[in-house]
């Protein structure tokens, strides 16, 4: 199943949605399946408090925080140099500990290269379902899926007409 916020463009809701999906997966399948979240660093900063709830409930999703220096979607729509699209960089890997989670409840990872990502994805420990996995995944600020770029172009045109 895929849950996406593109339909209504609600930035920041996906950490809470991940929590709900992970709870439903656990209730229906135990630890046989995983919930996986891909979220930009800017969006994550909107709803990061739900990471605390995920940890408190003992849920075990995989969360990829795509660190690309701010609001890439907004940059695509409103311009690359607008300062309101910049964010304060966080040390995302330290958040589970800051929320008081025991070390056995989570694993954190830093990924800065494609080789590191491939190594992580093929790791048995990463793929087991025993703990939350939080991945800081660094990408270029301009890197975005083609679909996102097309949606942004459409929104830019719509904004010009308004």
Residue-level length of the chain? 162
For tokens 């991945």, the residue is 135
pLDDT digits (tens, 9 = 90+) for 80-138: 888 888 899 999 999 999 999 999 999 999 999 999 999 999 999 999 888 999 999 99
pLDDT digits (tens, 9 = 90+) for 48-95: 999 999 999 999 999 999 999 888 878 777 778 888 888 999 999 999
Q: Is the dihedral of CA 8, 42, 65, 139 positive or negative?
A: positive
**What is the value of pTM for the model shown?**
0.88
Residue 142: strand, helix, or coil: coil
pLDDT confidence tier of residue 162, bands split at 50, 70 and 90:
low
Domains of the chain: 13-160 (3.40.50.970)
What's the 3-state SS for 57-105? Answer: CCCCCEEEEEECCCCHHHHHHHCCCCHHHCCCCCCHHHHHHHCCCCHHH
d(CA 106, CA 87): 25
The answer to whether residue 5 scores a pLDDT higher than 80 is: no
**Measured CA distances, 85 to 3, 39, 72, 73, 112 (Å):** 25, 16, 8, 9, 22
- Burial level of 46, CB count in 10 A (0-12/13-18/19+)? middle
Residue 37: strand, helix, or coil: strand
d(CA 114, CA 117): 5
For tokens 């409103």, the residue is 78
Residue 7: strand, helix, or coil: coil
Residue 58 tokens, joined: 């003992």
The answer to whether residue 7 scores a pLDDT higher than 60 is: no
Which pLDDT does position 97 carry in this prediction? 98
């Amino acid at each position: 199943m895929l849950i996406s916020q593109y339909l209504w463009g609600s930035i920041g809701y996906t950490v809470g949605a991940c929590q709900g999906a992970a709870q439903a997966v656990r209730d229906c399948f135990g630890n046989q399946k995983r919930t996986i979240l891909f979220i930009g660093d800017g969006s994550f900063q909107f709803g990061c408090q739900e990471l605390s709830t995920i940890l408190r409930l003992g849920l075990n999703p995989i969360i990829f925080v795509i660190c690309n220096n701010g609001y890439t979607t907004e940059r695509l729509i409103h311009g690359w140099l607008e300062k309101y699209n910049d964010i304060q960089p966080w040390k995302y890997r330290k958040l589970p500990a800051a929320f008081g989670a025991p070390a056995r409840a989570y694993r954190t990872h830093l990924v800065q290269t494609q080789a590191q990502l491939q190594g992580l994805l093929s790791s048995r420990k990463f793929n087991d379902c025993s703990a939350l996995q939080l991945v800081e995944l660094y990408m270029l600020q301009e890197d975005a899926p083609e679909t996102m770029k097309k949606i942004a172009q459409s929104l830019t045109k719509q904004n010009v007409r308004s």
